[in-house]
Structure 1
Amino acid sequence: MGQHFISSLLICMFFTLIPASLSSSDDRRTYIIHMDKSKMPAPFSTHHSWYASTLTSLSSPDDIPPIHLYTYNHAMDGFSAVLSRSHLEQLEKMPGHLATNEETFGQLHTTHTPKFLGLDRQTGLWPVSGFGDDMIIGIVDTGIWPESESFNDDGMPPVPARWRGTCETGTAFNSSNCNKKLIGARSFSKGMKQAGLNISTTDDYDSPRDYLGHGTHTSSTAAGSAAPFASHFGYANGTAKGMAPKARLAMYKVLFFNYTSDAAATDTLAGIDQAIEDGVDLLSLSLGFYTTPFYSDPIAVGTFAAIERGIFVACSAGNRGPHGYTILNGAPWITTVGAGTIDRNLSARVTLGDGEIQVVGKSVYPQNLLVDRVPIYFGHGNRSKEICNSYTLDPNDVKGKYIFCDFNDEISVFQQLFEMYRTGAAGAIFSSDSGQFLQVEVFDMPFVTVNPWDGELVKNYLIKSKNPTISIKFQVTLLGTKPAPQVADFSSRGPVLHAPWTLKPDILAPGVDVLGAWTPNRASAPIGDNFLLTDYALVSGTSMASPHVVGIAALLKTAHKDWSPAAIRSAMMTTADIIDNANNPIIDIITGVAGTPLDFGGGHVNPNKATDPGLVYDIGVQDYINYMCALNYTTEQLQTITRRSNVSCEANLDLNYPSFIVILNNTNTTSYTFKRVLTSVVDANCTYHATVEAPSGMKVFVQPATIYFPRKYSKSTFNLTVEINLGLNPTSDYIGNYGFLTWYEDKGTHVVRSPLVSAFAA
């Protein structure tokens, strides 16, 4: 589930383009006007009426009056309007005017993840797949807010005739809330009610309507329609758009607000069951149960039935990283998704003094606060005060002031935050190497974290200046930052505790500060003791990664109707990126060094490459049954999953998976041979040869090293033998020791890569 699920819930203003026809001259522009509310004249009862009166008072030489757009109640003090140059000149001379910013427009993408993933309207997987048209994605989650712009059905064709679902009637929800985008919505709460949940006393809705925001967010990420001018209080501006923007959505609500946000296994299974009955093509579950054998895991059980019917299933890997063996949803028929960062930073720009030095740091403070040449406190000569350790600052010195806290690797940014709150400081600049780990909801005060190198610039300026001042511009969004992606700190790592013989997670996808649709009725972004509301929110978690993958799978399934769920997963894994945008191996954000397949599986998903993988590793239902037989499940346990009274199987832990994991024991030497079958998915004969990148201490042999495919869907078998000599003192150093097996097409362009990793059994 989303890492912060969801303690602070979020509503923002709708942004509207002013049609060009309303403008009679080229000098009319849209502006954001900052006003000083303390200067509001006494006759006005509200600042809105003051702004309206101000606009009315402006003379219009061209007889076209100003157009008021929005009054901002929390995100900033002021309003926006369409003004001529004459209007603007008059307004800037009026009492109370602080500053004017001309309107800017964000890039037209999912608040950035589609572009980061290479999706383009003109070329590649989006147009090839018709943007996922005809696919139906089932989301098992907290419900949905149907009025969100992300679920508008403009331009959508009729609902597929095969659809058997419906929109149920319940609290604040009925069939009219569905349309050609949101084609089904149901809720399941009997299990929670039996456990003592009284929905009527929790403020949640006894219906598919979302109270927590989580399901609305995941749904919009997977298949949201284009929603222009979306942002989180000015951060991450752009057009919010799902991975498969023409796909249909069906919501199955199984989580209700109960202070722990639990989902009953009975309700979860009921939701999966109904989704299968309704005819979904794909399922995404951004929730998980504690790791248990598959036969007692409701998600593993329910999704096995889905896979049998050709339904692709993606699930979040869990937010218990960075430690190993923390993977949830690790059944081999589930595509398990870890979370990575994207190349976008949410920032504030700090200007020192007269502007001779500027630094940029992380901040998601949700108000465009005017911080201009304000004094800043720094405890010169007292190291404990300089680093703002607990109870080192005197409130008499810093109350109402901005403070600077120097870097110290033994002091966390949270201790510095405590000092800011305790002393009543107005805001802060923190020099810290952990600012990147702070979640959105932490920024309830106007503070900025800068890295230690920039912190040195700030400190040197403060030491040398007699009367140091700073200016801060919040709501800065930087694109193209490097390195990205990185493996998120919270993303759960493999192997799977109860069944480590398949590598998990399978793949990495965006899961940090993802902008998606939100419920507009709940207190969200904090400012001190107050909360703002929003229609779009930034949320982090593997919950956000799973819907990215299910949306991409919908595109692939549209482009390749005959591909199985395993083939779709294989295509994503074998074409995934293992190099970041700085042309280096993808790093673990915690350690700052190269991650391993236990962190990111096959790599970071690359949708356009996945549409043409060349070869796939396919897996049938019987193969999964053979795998479970090798786990020594009893007949009854197997029947729990398969629903078959007479299970026939040949025990085999070596699934035809697109990755390889060697589970080590305490003996000095380990040798294991994997058998794999590759299937060609191109309309031509082709030949591939194998190349192995083996880590130190690991010998790898491929037989045969060259394989030939005479036609599409022809198959070829190979063996991969791994020998590992642990020496006289086997250690955990071999956990995550990895390399790659890559098949290169002769006289072609296809490259099929699989990770090979070793780990000790838990």
Structure 2
Amino acid sequence: MALPPSMLQTICFLYAALLLLSSSSADPIRQQYVVYMGSSSSSANGGEFAPESAYLQMLSSVTESDDGGEMGLVRRYQHAFRGFSAMLTEDQASALSGQEGVISVFPDPILKLHTTRSWDFLESMSGLSNLMSSSNSSSSSTSGHHIYGVPSPRRDVIIGVIDTGIWPESPSFIDEGIGEIPSRWKGICMEGSDFRKSNCNRKLIGARYYGTERTYNDNKTHSSKPKGSPRDTVGHGTHTASIAAGSPVANASYYGLARGTAKGGAPSARIAVYKACSEDGCSGSTLLKAIDDAIADGVDFISISIGMSSTFQADFLEDPIAIGAFHAQEKGVTVVCSAGNEGPQLNTVVNSAPWIFTAAASNIDRDFQSTLVLGDGRTFNVRCKYFLLLNLMFNAMEIMLRALFLLLWEFSSNCYPGSLDRNKVAGKIVVCVASDFSISRRIRKMVVEDARGRGMILVNPEDTGVPFDSGTFPFIEVGGRYGTSILKYMNSTKNPKGTILAAVDVPGYRPAPSVAYFSSRGPGPLTENILKPDVMAPGVSILAAFPPKNVTGTVPAGEKPSWYALKSGTSMACPHVTGAAAFVKSVHPKWSPSMIKSALMTTGNLCCYTLIIVMINLSKLEPIF
């Protein structure tokens, strides 16, 4: 019996759809891979080995395109090591991995950023404060000695910072009193849409950026010009660069907090920036390209406050930072990296390759404190996990928030998104109880703000010791003991009231130094027989340069955006170590990376409690000068 025409049409349609689906599903997915081929070679005449044609030939051998592999090539590495990154299918990557000369082929990973008084603290720990004050009056340009009482630097040191770029107009990057750019410098100052060659100077001597190096349109044509500029719109790179080598800037502060002289560890050092990251992170292939360029440009140090996740750590032959750092060490370039912010659990340290100088984070002897005054007159002095700025919005020195407390139980008590009733919360100080640690403080603060709360008290039994910048929104965090007292008071009266006072500096905080709660711990999962991190340096509430961004909720009324910010993380510890290492290199220009690393590790102070961590000690370096 013949099928009805409508049924026949339906069958034909379904058959065509299945063919279309099968053909589309058969189309393999392409993603970016890194092909690593080991140390670079040189031509017979001493020139640089330029292997792009060889890379294209390799690509064409595993692809079916008629462009000779050119369309798939994204980046090539040619200075300190050989290799390239390309858009490949899984099968093509597997085929390349078996070719002669290929050491490893791996998917291009995305790495994340490990987001003043700190140098004064190191000096005071080392017993150098008195030495500084006594030598300031006696030292001069002809004395041949640094203010620490040790020989003056005899060589310009160049620090390469691979990060999110730089804000060149910051006072921390002025070149007053700095000599001409070293003749050995081979780098460039790339221009972009908002960055000119004139933004570089004798302090900031180089700037590169890495956008999409080859962009394609519908006609499959490409351009080798990267998009963007070296300018830092995130702030992370500006902050880390100024910690390592920022020029001294007197009276720097974050809206009055942490006021003092902001300076880098090696203020006479030169800075070269390599913008390889955005707020979303950094691709491994771009990091490799930045390291390769930095080595060729002639840097002495590379500072990298970036790392992979500790959840799954790739083998060293598939870790872009480990690969790049290995070849940098071969060329005499010291690479300093952050240990990660996934503590206090063990085996969370990243950047743990033996040839990397890995930095953990500590606090310093300055903290921030706010006072909560209850309606019955009791006061609670709490460590400030935020930087309250509302005192600048009023004539009074204190903020009097005479508002009702509001306690919300069960779902609302954690301040989950969507859990607060704006009619009940508006104009009140909201008390949130942190029983679910999957919700960050930042999210809770946003929830209360969206509900028009006037302030927030977070009762958190786990004291992480990690400062939190809540901008102009009053936010304090209390431990379980204080939290219990606050809740008892609220239950004892029908009209609970409270006052949150402005945040203030608290110098002389103890214990300091101590390992920051968030700082990743060792041993490294890939090298458990090697102690990591190598050294500890300040990384909590560090005042350093920052782009003056006018973001709602972060700038007090009547104030301009700050040129400085307080940030925490092993990202901040890393450039402290870089700066100290650069100081050593400036006096001992012939020392190798291993000698510099050994000098800092063997002269540091053992710290802290049951943890064997070395805190850099500037004074103990004196005998080696």
Counterpart Cα distance in 2 of 1:278 and 1:385: 56
Aligned residue for 1:477, secondary structure, equals: strand
The equivalent of 2:339 in structure 1 is: 317
Distance in 2 (CA, whole Å) between partners of 1:304 and 1:125 is 35
* Length-normalised TM-score, structure 2: 0.67
The C-alpha deviation readout for 1:559-599, integer Å capped at 9, x for no partner, is: 3334321122112222322345xxxx2xxxxxxxx4x34xx
The structure 2 residue matched to 1:293, chosen from 298, 309, 315, is 315
**Cα distance between partner residues in 2 of 1:261 and 1:216:** 16
Provide the rounded CA distance (Å) in 2 between the counterparts of 1:182 and 1:126.
25
Please name the residue that 1:401 is paired with.
428
Aligned to 1:262: 282
1:224 offset after TM fit, Å? 0.3
Instruction: Give 1:491's aligned amino acid.
Output: S
Shift in alpha-carbon separation, 1:550–1:532, aligned structure 2, 3 A: same
**2:527 corresponds to which residue?**
499
Q: 1:461 to 1:314 in 2, by over 3 A?
A: same
CA contact (8 A) 1:112 1:236 kept: no
Residue 263 (structure 2) aligns with: 241
Offset from partner CA, 1:487-545 (integer Å, 9 cap, x none): 233322223333333221111111222222112246376489xx984321222222111
Deviation at 1:550, TM superposition (A): 0.6
| 2:384 paired with 1:364 | no
- 1:505 is paired with a residue of what secondary structure? coil
Deviation (angstroms), 1:436 = 4.2
Deviation at 1:448, TM superposition (A): 1.4
> CA, structure 1 residues 438+114, in 2 after alignment: closer, same or farther (shift >3 Å)?
closer
For residue 262 of structure 1, what is the amino acid of its counterpart?
C
Taking structure 1 as reference, are residues 405 and 217 closer, same or farther at Cα in structure 2, changes over 3 Å only? closer
Instruction: Give the partner amino acid of 1:449.
Output: E
Where do residues 102-501 of structure 1 align in structure 2 (5 Å cutoff)? 109=117, 114-115=122-123, 118=126, 120=129, 121-122=132-133, 126-128=148-150, 130=152, 134-190=156-212, 206-256=228-278, 260-265=280-285, 267-289=286-308, 291-353=313-375, 357=379, 359-362=381-384, 363-368=386-391, 371-372=399-400, 374-377=402-405, 396-404=423-431, 414=441, 420-421=448-449, 424-434=452-462, 436-437=464-465, 439-442=467-470, 445-455=473-483, 458=486, 469-501=497-529
Aligned equivalents of 2:217, 2:622: Cα separation in 1: 45
Partner of 1:578: 606
Distance of 2:246 and 2:295 partners within structure 1: 22
Q: How far is the alpha carbon of 1:222 from its aligned partner?
A: 0.1
Contact 2:113 2:305 in 1 (8 A): no
Shift in CA distance, 429/302, structure 1 to aligned 2, threshold 3 Å:
closer
Do the aligned residues in 2 keep the contact of 1:3 with 1:319 (CA within 8 Å)?
A: no
* CA pair 284-522 structure 1, distance change in 2 beyond 3 A: farther
Alignment of 1:15-164 (within 5 A): 109=117, 114-115=122-123, 118=126, 120=129, 121-122=132-133, 126-128=148-150, 130=152, 134-164=156-186
Could you tell me which residue of structure 2 aligns to residue 637 of structure 1?
A: none
Alignment match, 1:658:
none
Whole-Å Cα distance in 1 between the matches of residues 270 and 211 of structure 2? 24
User: How far did 1:314 drift?
Assistant: 0.6
Q: 1:210 to 1:463 in 2, by over 3 A?
A: same
Q: How many residues align?
A: 482
**Unpaired runs of at least 5, structure 2:** 1-109, 136-145, 219-225
Alignment of 1:542-581 (within 5 A): 542-579=570-607
1:48-80 deviation digits (Å, cap 9, x = unpaired): xxxxxxxxxxxxxxxxxxxxxxxxxxxxxxxxx
SS in 2 for 1:210: coil
Could you tell me how far apart the structure 2 residues matched to 1:558 and 1:372 are? Answer: 52
Residue 400 of structure 1 aligns to which amino acid in structure 2?
G
Measured after TM superposition, the shift of residue 413 of structure 1 is: 8.1
Deviations 1:343-395 (A, max 9, x none): 2223323334596645234232343255326133266xx98699677699765
Task: Tell me which amino acid in the other structure corresponds to 2:306.
Answer: L
Between 1 and 2, higher relative CO (CA 8 Å, sep ≥ 6) is seen in 2
Which residue in the other structure is 1:591 paired with?
A: none
Query: What's the % identity of the aligned pairs?
Result: 38
Go from structure 1 to structure 2 and tell me whether the alpha carbon gap of 1:526 and 1:446 turns closer, same or farther (over 3 Å shift).
Answer: same
* CA shift in 2, pair 1:153/1:350, >3 Å: same
Q: CA deviation at 1:437?
A: 4.7
| Contact 1:173–1:208 (CA under 8 A) maintained in structure 2 | yes
Q: Distance in 2 between matches of 1:286 and 1:331?
A: 15
Change (3 A) 1:165 1:446: same
> Residues 711-750 of structure 1: matches in 2 within 5 Å?
none
Q: Give the Cα–Cα distance (whole angstroms) in 1 for the partners of residues 343 and 249 of structure 2.
A: 33
Letter in 2 for 1:427: G
> How big is the shift at 1:553?
0.2
Q: Could you list the runs of 5+ residues in structure 1 that have no partner in the other structure?
A: 7-107, 197-203, 586-593, 613-680, 683-762
Indicate if the aligned counterparts of 1:349 and 1:476 stay in contact, CA closer than 8 A: no
Structure-2 separation of matches of 1:209 and 1:502: 38
Amino acid at match of 1:401: K
How big is each residue's C-alpha offset from its partner over 1:319-361, in whole Å with a ceiling of 9 and x where there is no partner? 3333333332222111011222222223323334596645234
SS in 2 for 1:486: coil
Going from structure 1 to structure 2, the CA distance change for 1:274 and 1:347 (only over 3 Å counts) comes to same
CA contact (8 A) 1:525 1:532 kept: no
CA distance in 2 between partners of 1:373 and 1:367 (Å): 11
- Structure 1 residues 195, 114: CA separation in 2 closer, same or farther (over 3 Å shift)? farther
SS in 1 for 2:531: coil
Look up the match of 2:58: none
The aligned runs of 1:507-656 (5 Å cut-off) are 507-521=535-549, 523=551, 526=554, 533-579=561-607, 585=609, 594=610, 596-597=611-612, 602-612=613-623
Judged with a 3 Å threshold, the aligned counterparts in structure 2 of structure 1 residues 271 and 392 are, in CA distance, closer, same or farther, namely closer
Equivalent-residue separation in structure 1 for 2:270 and 2:188 (angstroms): 13
Please give the TM-score of this superposition, normalised by the length of structure 1. 0.56
Distance 1:194 1:491 in 2: 41
Matches of 1:413 and 1:289 in 2, distance apart? Answer: 21
* Contact 2:302–2:333 (8 Å) recurs in 1: yes
Distance in 1 of aligned mates of 2:585 and 2:217:
39
RMSD: 3.9
Q: Tell me the secondary structure at the aligned position of residue 128 of structure 1.
A: coil
> What's the offset of the Cα at 1:422?
6.9
SS state of the match for residue 305, structure 1?
Answer: helix
| Structure-2 change in CA distance of 1:399 and 1:422 (3 Å) | same
Contact 2:112 2:308 in 1 (8 A): no
Instruction: Evaluate the alpha carbon distance shift between residue 289 and residue 435 of structure 1 in structure 2; reply closer, same or farther with a 3 A threshold.
Output: closer
